[in-house]
Structure 1
Amino acid sequence: MAWTIPPRLDPERSRRRLQLLAELAGARAVRQRERPQRARTERLRQLIATRRRVAG
């Protein structure tokens, strides 16, 4: 059985995807700067969820 390399994405599609991901990351950073309480609450929710998964 030979390994096959998956086909590469269209370069334009890859560029658009990277641009979208960068914009999402930027929007997330802006949201966290504007609302530090919300960011802290979200981190606590993630921590609690992680602990529940580990304990369960």
Structure 2
Amino acid sequence: MRNGIDYLSSVVEHLDEAVSDVSARDLKYADLHLQVAAEVLAALVPQLSKSAFS
């Protein structure tokens, strides 16, 4: 779960206009990291469901 949260944090950092202007590169990596975060966190759902009903 930590990796998924790290990827989400990276998305926020890449899109934070208060730090610097958002470049095309920032958008590219924010998009990539958001996709990976969704995959990592979605992979945890079956494990969490299994442990919740055990």
TM-score (norm 1): 0.45
TM-score (norm 2): 0.47
Give the number of the structure whose alpha-carbon radius of gyration is greater: 1
